[in-house]
Structure 1
Amino acid sequence: MAAKAKKKIKKKKNNLLMIAVSFAIFLFLSVIGGYFALLYAGDMMIEQNEQKLKDLKIEPTVIYDKNGQEMTSLIREKNREYKPINEMPKVLIDAFLAVEDKRFYEHKGVDMVRIGGAIVNDIKKGSLAEGGSTITQQLARNVFLTLDQTFWRKTKEMSIAIGLERRYSKDQILEMYLNRIYLGKGEFGVQDASLYYFGIPVDHKDFTIAKAAMLAAIPKAPTTYNPFNNPEKAKLRRDTIIRLMHEQGLITEEQKLAAQAEPLPKKSGEIADSTLKKGYRAFFDNMVEEAEATFGVTEEELYRGGWNIYTTFDPKVQDAMVEEYANAKNFPKDGAKRGVESSMIVIDAKTGGIAGMMGGRNYAPKGFNYATDMKRQPGSSFKPIAVFAPAVNKDINKWNANSQLSNKRQSFNGYEPRNYNNRYTETMSMNRAMIDSANIPPVWLLNEIGVSESLEYLKKVGIELTPNDRNLAIALGGLDVGTSPLEMAQAYTPFVNAGVVSEAHSITKVENKDEGVVREYQPKQSEALKPEAAWEIHTMLEKAVQEGTGKAARISGRHVAGKTGTTQSIAGDSKANKDAWFVGYTPEYVGAVWMGFDPEDKQHLMHQGSSMTAQMFSKVLATALKGVPSSDFVRPAGAVEQKEVEVEPELQLAADMSFDPSTNKLMVVLSWIGGADGDTYDLYRIGENGERQLISAGMKETSYVDVLDSPKQYQYQVVPRNAQGEEGTPSKTVPIDSKKLENLINQDPGHNEEGNDQGQNPDGTENGNGEIPPDQGTGGTGEHTNNGDGSQPPNPGTGEVPPDIVNPDPSQTDGSSNEIKLPPPPQEEGQNQFPDASNG
């Protein structure tokens, strides 16, 4: 039995050994077969496309507008100069080899040591993002392949590289590589790039180690390391390559230090890299970024040629923008040296396709784009999306245009917003709050529905927020970082599109001419609002343009809706504005306009408000829509046209007392607010015995001075009458204290024995004109208040005043409708934490 068992075990071991050997042979043959298959595939691709290695001619990439017409082509007409390797300086070759492929003369096209390290990093990251390609592989990719990061593309790249090494010498491969490498700004090859960046050929006596390293620095990220656009990053990358050259023994310590001390090249003038029309550059640059982010087509691939890019660009819209932005009269004239900055974007109301954009008044190619990159406080233009839309969407029966919102002075756990005109009533309808751009109602409403409700909605429509935005200040546009015209325009699309938000985009389709690759844009649309809620907000925004703060945005014969916004200056002038906005739409387009100084300082303050941004919107859209039949907004199915509820305005009567020493008369100065247009007023004085005396009837004015002979205890009341003479709800009675009247007589500081006004204040201080200086008050943050009652003075041009933000109770936590956690104070000039308290 034991012998049999041993035989079975031995037989089993033999079987396992046979399987292992067979598997090893199979694996070996598979590797050998795979290797030869790889060689064959590489050879076939080279044979079929070898002419590409010899032909420097590039077929242009063509960009098309929304109508299918050519917008621009990317390759400028010029003869590319091919430079033989024996005419290239050694420092140039050394610089590229040091950073791109230091074992170039040792491997056979694929550097397994380098690839091994790259694979480890790729596995960690879960993608093929890590480098590892040799110069031969890069040549294979640049000539024969696209740049998509896939395993199959990487395999083809390796097979072609091995094939190239079998067909060409190392110097031939290096020569082809250096004459084809993309070096930014539409430049291919080291010779053309040297002429562009330095103004000299590579074999010039002044071509230095630093210049060689600068060219070698660019291929990794041509836009990021462009010395003209990003000098700091470019220098850091250049100096790193100089250090690598020193570490590899290619240059001495002295040469390293001298090269790193050499300044970067100065821009000598823009060379056209396309047939792009002046004023179209901001859209173009944004489109190039989107091509890579959305479709994986890099700037290098676009300039390498052979692509058709179909966009949402509308030349009528862009030309209208360019025309209006060229007119200095469309901008405030504030500022000692530089003018007010501005940006604008217009997108298709239904699809979100970007029709046009102005990245600034003097946008530089690949420069800072104020339409997409800027983050500024949006002011009152934020109210519809931060408060009213989420509230109406939550419960349209409870919150709608006719809902009465609190409009009285109040504190929300230390946050004390104020209305721009310092006028308050018990309540105000949501519709009236939108039209007049009142501040208390939206803050109060946000406190009712909860900040979380707002944040959730803002995220839906694409507004980028930070943790510090969890506070009531967002009701008035008081964001921690801010927002951009692009985000604001996108966020308004639900109001014109039955509640559907459409992602802003600029490309509809890309095609590769050689490979027939077609990639189409997949629309990103989702419901942010219920259709009936979207229509409810829209009706209020349309009235805001018809009769409210957005009147300047009206376009003759067309339907327009929208909202203005301003924020106050922080440069020491309480009468100046930091930001002015208008965000609005027609049935065809949604647009956002911003104006302001960047940076803002005491010499550059904007004393005009959002009327100019509204005017810009009107002028651009009026021109862009010429020839387009006028259309109305379409009410979504199920949306009810709510009849506006007439709420009788509440009269608020105030009284002040003074003594005229020249006549020995007491005066009661009465004023009131809250009446309706066309009302007249009857004023009553009520004596101590309750006797009611009509002292003035049928007044159109809203103030009156009652002169008294002696101090008595009186009450006053004002009664409104409409155009038909019907009596409305009287104001509350306001009493006059007789003791205070007596004190005015006995303690008059300017009434001396001779009865002459000495021009002194009660505290002995002099004004020069005999007036008592106003109490500075303690409301809000003292440094921002100076109106006597703690409020801020209105802008004389716009009547706009931001609310004071008082530090809230730090113990407040998230999760309740009373949560108040204000953003930290601004860290640098140009960042304002104080939201708009404007009429726009």
Structure 2
Amino acid sequence: MAQAKKKKKKKQVNKWILLIIGFAVFLILSVIGGYFALLYAGGKMVEMDENKLRDIKLEATKIMDVNGKELSKLYVLEDREYVTIDKVPKKLVQAFVAVEDKRFFEHNGVDMIRIGGAIWKDIRAGSAVEGASTITQQLAKNVFLSHEKTFWRKTKEVSIAINLENRFTKDQIMEMYLNKIYLGHGAYGIKAAANYYFGKEKAEHLDTLTTAEIAQLAAIPKGPSIYSPFNNPAKSKERRDTIIRLMAEQGIITVQEKEAAQQEPLPTKKVTEGNSYQAFLDYVVDEAEERYGIAENELFSGGYQIYTTLNTDVQDAMVKNFANAKNFPKDGKTNQVDAGMVVLDAKTGGIAGIVGGRNYVHKGWNNALSLHQPGSSFKPLAVFAPALDTGKWHAGSQLSNKRQSFNGYEPRNWNNQYSESIRMDKAVQMSLNVPTVWLLNEIGIDKSLKYIKDFGISLDPTDRNLSIALGGLHKGTSPLRMAQAYTAFTNGGVVKEAHAIDKIKDLRTGKEEIRPVKETQVISPNAAWEMHELLRNAVQSGTGTSAKMKNWPVAGKTGTTQSALSSKANKDAWFVGYNPRYIGSIWMGFPKEDKGHIMYDGSSKTARLFSIVMQEALKNEKPLDFERPNGVSERHEVEENQEVATTPPALSVRLTIEGSQPVALLMWDDANEKTTGYDVMRYLNNPESAEKISSKQSGKTFVDQVKEGVLYKYFVVPYDENGNPGSPSNIGEVSTKQLEELLQNGENQHEENNSGDSHNSTEGDQSPNNGSNGSSEQEGHGNTDNSGNSNSTPQGLPNGNNGGNNQDNGQGHGQVNGSSGNGADPNASQRPADIPDPNQSTDPSQ
């Protein structure tokens, strides 16, 4: 019995032993299985995302200009030009090993000794004070994992690290690590950091890094913000010197080298890349995704070479002159008048340059792409080009120019001058509103809307009314779209899609991708050329004279919309024009209008800026002339009893004293025998708001009393016996300095403001404000053209400021209601007051 009990007990012990052994075996097998599963999982992750390792070997996506030269590198936070291990200084590798992972060349990805030491230190400190990640683990984390702090993330990190050690050599792992490690201020990798902190631009410059600079780089990974020499110089130097000491203790450098390195000052000035091309680069990123289907993050991951249309001569000229405050109206109380400009290749539609604003920032508000009311610059697209394309109208056609109402809509001419009829070319030259609206009414709103759509401009449904003739759009359009639409006038009626990218090359595959540019035949070649001639005349002797260039022909149209706060001010000022090489589109205005931010200048400012930019951009190119397309002939239709052209009067203004009172003496010459009388016009800032101070006088002189501190600008308008107006004279003005000198001397002084000089240019659109060398607030039209030549006396209109109304835009009509139609959109452009409610049809046919 006892023996049986012993036997039974022995069986139970054996059973427990077997269970324990089994459990131990199970645990061992589980651990082994888990280990291999861990290795497998890590290997799978590396295998599935091995492209991430390849990606870090790619240089940042490179942006090339139109000539194939590198313009910039595309990156958000990383400029990762891959550096192979043979180009990395041995001392730099040793420094990183010394501070980050001193047993790097001995472990298999995980340093168990370091882990044990870290755990012991953490226990003693009562918190985590010591990191234990090896360089291989850091690479695994940086390439494959997120930065979340969880047990499973750490497990994955170990797994991937072991797998990386099995797949790659120590040199390969170190190479990848040094190209991926984040070193502060957006610099990823040692090459980018060496460039950022020390101005070492190329990989071969790494050999010139000093011991102190090497230690500085090795000091940063532990805390990029904390140990940045720019953010915390004291802490940065302390850590740098600690690493220099470690390098000496490990025999990497001598004691003498240590002492010399610790005396070396920290970097104090970083090398930064300018943002002259930022608006263009932002546009390239957007276009790559829209036209090529390459997402932004793909571009930033590197590996592409993007060939663009940007011309650095053009872009640099734009940036330089946007930085010059003299090219802009007076600043407001707290904000500047802002602007946006885009320049296209006149033949291809390629974007040669973009400026998004005077202080554009990455991905910020871009005035070259945002919507604004275009004013009279829209007239060629909505009215004149469609009319010419019908074949029923031509430059010599007579258009109604009498005061009239279109179902309650009563546009006015900026100069308040009317006649029974006027030629189309004269209406364009003088930017008159009544004949423009009348012509739109004749061709039909629906037909106009179709043309506008084909020109590439999207309108709001509420824009189906006659106000589109004058650019009174509910939401407006952008400088880019306006420039694109004007390509029709330089390409025989074909609109060329505006684009920034010619082709993209994938450096991984060598494959190049080219997407065709959309081309749309909108108007006939004949209509395009005739419209071009009208626009050329508008610059030569009409509202756009300030856009003239030296030796280069220019065609274009000004545009303004009136401020809602003052009839003498403008909300928007435009110029859209071109020469044989480029099309330029400029908008100016305050981002938000209020009492402290009112712009009294008009489109003569934008026209002048166009001229200045283009003159500089083309300074190294041989001037060209416009070429009439094959098969297109000049047309010289002249209506009966209608004068082909008139020579405008040549006006000069002198200051003198009559008695004790200063006066302005106006004198003019006029060779036109059909002139029977003259209106004398006077204004301060806005030629479109000029007042008539003498009507239909027969003489050629006039005396105007000058009030102290108030200096006017003048122009005269000739009339024939039937009351038809001729081309206004140039702008004449007197300066404050002249008045002061006159009063001080107390004697008669005749300070001549010669019309041929700086006063000419009459801007119809802007009306006569041509201005003085651009120095006057009035647009500087007249005056000298930007080339230094004095503008020829305009045949079209007095030079001038784009008046305040839609001025040329018809604004005369102009006032601007704060809203358009009902339910006004607070972000929509303001609509001139005389523009009807968009919800009320203005089509007389209805």
Q: TM-score range by the shorter chain?
A: 0.5 to 0.7
Distance of 1:310 and 1:519 partners within structure 2: 10
Select 1:307's aligned residue among 304, 323, 334.
304
Q: Give the match's secondary structure for 1:492.
A: helix
Select 2:612's aligned residue among 606, 611, 619.
619
Q: Give the match's secondary structure for 1:464.
A: coil
CA contact (8 A) 1:282 1:365 kept: yes
Report the alpha carbon displacement of residue 479 of structure 1 after superposing the two structures with TM.
Answer: 0.7
Distance of 1:796 and 1:423 partners within structure 2: 16
Q: Give the match's secondary structure for 2:611.
A: helix
Select 1:362's aligned residue among 354, 359, 373.
359
Post-superposition Cα deviations, 1:413-440, rounded to whole Å, max 9, x if no partner, equal: 1211111111111111111111000001
CA contact (8 A) 1:376 1:481 kept: yes
Report the alpha carbon displacement of residue 283 of structure 1 after superposing the two structures with TM.
Answer: 0.8
Report the alpha carbon displacement of residue 301 of structure 1 after superposing the two structures with TM.
Answer: 2.2
Q: Give the match's secondary structure for 1:342.
A: strand
Distance of 2:182 and 2:538 partners within structure 1: 52
Q: Give the match's secondary structure for 2:594.
A: coil
Query: What residue is the counterpart of 2:279 in the other structure?
Result: 282
CA contact (8 A) 1:347 1:353 kept: yes
Query: What residue is the counterpart of 2:454 in the other structure?
Result: 460
Mapping of 1:133-282 within 5 angstroms?
Answer: 277-282=274-279
Post-superposition Cα deviations, 1:441-472, rounded to whole Å, max 9, x if no partner, equal: 11111111111111111111211211111111
Distance of 2:271 and 2:333 partners within structure 1: 33
Select 1:495's aligned residue among 480, 489, 503.
489
User: Aligned pair in 2 of structure 1 residues 296, 271: CA closer, same or farther (>3 Å)?
Assistant: farther
Mapping of 1:94-105 within 5 angstroms?
Answer: none
User: Aligned pair in 2 of structure 1 residues 586, 46: CA closer, same or farther (>3 Å)?
Assistant: same
Query: What residue is the counterpart of 1:832 in the other structure?
Result: 830
Select 1:545's aligned residue among 515, 539, 555.
539
Query: What residue is the counterpart of 1:296 in the other structure?
Result: 293
Select 1:402's aligned residue among 383, 396, 407.
396
User: Aligned pair in 2 of structure 1 residues 526, 609: CA closer, same or farther (>3 Å)?
Assistant: same
Report the alpha carbon displacement of residue 799 of structure 1 after superposing the two structures with TM.
Answer: 4.4
Post-superposition Cα deviations, 1:48-72, rounded to whole Å, max 9, x if no partner, equal: x969638954423221111111111
Query: What residue is the counterpart of 1:265 in the other structure?
Result: none
User: Aligned pair in 2 of structure 1 residues 647, 318: CA closer, same or farther (>3 Å)?
Assistant: farther
Select 1:632's aligned residue among 625, 641, 645.
625
Report the alpha carbon displacement of residue 201 of structure 1 after superposing the two structures with TM.
Answer: 8.7
The letter for the 2-side match of 1:378 is P
Report the alpha carbon displacement of residue 43 of structure 1 after superposing the two structures with TM.
Answer: 8.4
Select 1:596's aligned residue among 589, 592, 600.
589
The letter for the 1-side match of 2:385 is A
CA contact (8 A) 2:419 2:723 kept: no
User: Aligned pair in 2 of structure 1 residues 807, 98: CA closer, same or farther (>3 Å)?
Assistant: same
Query: What residue is the counterpart of 1:380 in the other structure?
Result: 376
Q: Give the match's secondary structure for 2:353.
A: strand
User: Aligned pair in 2 of structure 1 residues 186, 416: CA closer, same or farther (>3 Å)?
Assistant: farther
Distance of 1:608 and 1:359 partners within structure 2: 20
User: Aligned pair in 2 of structure 1 residues 347, 835: CA closer, same or farther (>3 Å)?
Assistant: farther
Report the alpha carbon displacement of residue 640 of structure 1 after superposing the two structures with TM.
Answer: 2.9
Distance of 1:182 and 1:322 partners within structure 2: 33
Q: How many residues are treated as equivalent by the alignment?
A: 537
Query: What residue is the counterpart of 2:387 in the other structure?
Result: 391
Distance of 1:645 and 1:183 partners within structure 2: 74
Post-superposition Cα deviations, 1:539-576, rounded to whole Å, max 9, x if no partner, equal: 10000000000000011211110000000112x22211
Do structure 1's residue 681 and structure 2's residue 667 form an aligned pair? no
Mapping of 1:512-531 within 5 angstroms?
Answer: 512-531=506-525
Do structure 1's residue 699 and structure 2's residue 698 form an aligned pair? yes
Mapping of 1:577-596 within 5 angstroms?
Answer: 577-596=570-589
Post-superposition Cα deviations, 1:592-636, rounded to whole Å, max 9, x if no partner, equal: 011100011111111111001000111111111123222221212
Query: What residue is the counterpart of 1:336 in the other structure?
Result: 333
Query: What residue is the counterpart of 1:323 in the other structure?
Result: 320
Alpha-carbon RMSD: 5.1
Query: What residue is the counterpart of 1:688 in the other structure?
Result: none
Report the alpha carbon displacement of residue 181 of structure 1 after superposing the two structures with TM.
Answer: 12
Distance of 2:473 and 2:52 partners within structure 1: 54
Post-superposition Cα deviations, 1:243-268, rounded to whole Å, max 9, x if no partner, equal: xxxxxxxxxxxxxxxxxxxxxxxxxx
Distance of 2:612 and 2:582 partners within structure 1: 13
Q: Give the match's secondary structure for 1:426.
A: strand
User: Aligned pair in 2 of structure 1 residues 452, 54: CA closer, same or farther (>3 Å)?
Assistant: closer
Select 2:350's aligned residue among 335, 350, 353.
353
User: Aligned pair in 2 of structure 1 residues 451, 806: CA closer, same or farther (>3 Å)?
Assistant: farther
CA contact (8 A) 2:368 2:480 kept: yes
Query: What residue is the counterpart of 1:256 in the other structure?
Result: none
Report the alpha carbon displacement of residue 86 of structure 1 after superposing the two structures with TM.
Answer: 6.1
CA contact (8 A) 1:545 1:561 kept: yes
CA contact (8 A) 1:406 1:426 kept: yes
The letter for the 1-side match of 2:595 is K
Select 2:556's aligned residue among 535, 546, 562.
562
User: Aligned pair in 2 of structure 1 residues 806, 282: CA closer, same or farther (>3 Å)?
Assistant: closer
Select 1:505's aligned residue among 499, 509, 513.
499
The letter for the 2-side match of 1:357 is I
Report the alpha carbon displacement of residue 44 of structure 1 after superposing the two structures with TM.
Answer: 14
User: Aligned pair in 2 of structure 1 residues 79, 829: CA closer, same or farther (>3 Å)?
Assistant: same
Mapping of 1:441-456 within 5 angstroms?
Answer: 441-456=435-450
Query: What residue is the counterpart of 2:230 in the other structure?
Result: none
CA contact (8 A) 2:816 2:832 kept: no
Distance of 1:641 and 1:836 partners within structure 2: 37
Distance of 1:391 and 1:100 partners within structure 2: 65
User: Aligned pair in 2 of structure 1 residues 796, 351: CA closer, same or farther (>3 Å)?
Assistant: closer
Distance of 1:682 and 1:72 partners within structure 2: 62
Mapping of 1:62-77 within 5 angstroms?
Answer: 62-74=62-74, 75-76=78-79
The letter for the 1-side match of 2:451 is Y
Distance of 1:834 and 1:78 partners within structure 2: 54
Report the alpha carbon displacement of residue 355 of structure 1 after superposing the two structures with TM.
Answer: 0.3
Report the alpha carbon displacement of residue 827 of structure 1 after superposing the two structures with TM.
Answer: 3.5
Q: Give the match's secondary structure for 1:465.
A: coil
Report the alpha carbon displacement of residue 300 of structure 1 after superposing the two structures with TM.
Answer: 2.1
Query: What residue is the counterpart of 1:662 in the other structure?
Result: none
CA contact (8 A) 2:409 2:834 kept: no
Query: What residue is the counterpart of 2:689 in the other structure?
Result: none
CA contact (8 A) 2:145 2:153 kept: no
User: Aligned pair in 2 of structure 1 residues 417, 703: CA closer, same or farther (>3 Å)?
Assistant: farther
Please list every run of 5 or more consecutive structure 2 residues that lacks an aligned counterpart in the other structure.
1-39, 84-95, 102-130, 169-175, 197-218, 227-268, 644-669, 679-694, 704-717, 725-797, 806-810, 836-846
CA contact (8 A) 2:816 2:831 kept: no
The letter for the 2-side match of 1:73 is K
CA contact (8 A) 1:825 1:833 kept: no
Query: What residue is the counterpart of 1:576 in the other structure?
Result: 569
Distance of 2:428 and 2:184 partners within structure 1: 49
User: Aligned pair in 2 of structure 1 residues 388, 835: CA closer, same or farther (>3 Å)?
Assistant: farther
Percent identity of paired positions between Structure 1 and Structure 2? 49
Report the alpha carbon displacement of residue 822 of structure 1 after superposing the two structures with TM.
Answer: 6.6
CA contact (8 A) 1:567 1:836 kept: no
CA contact (8 A) 1:446 1:472 kept: yes
Distance of 1:804 and 1:46 partners within structure 2: 70
CA contact (8 A) 1:558 1:631 kept: yes
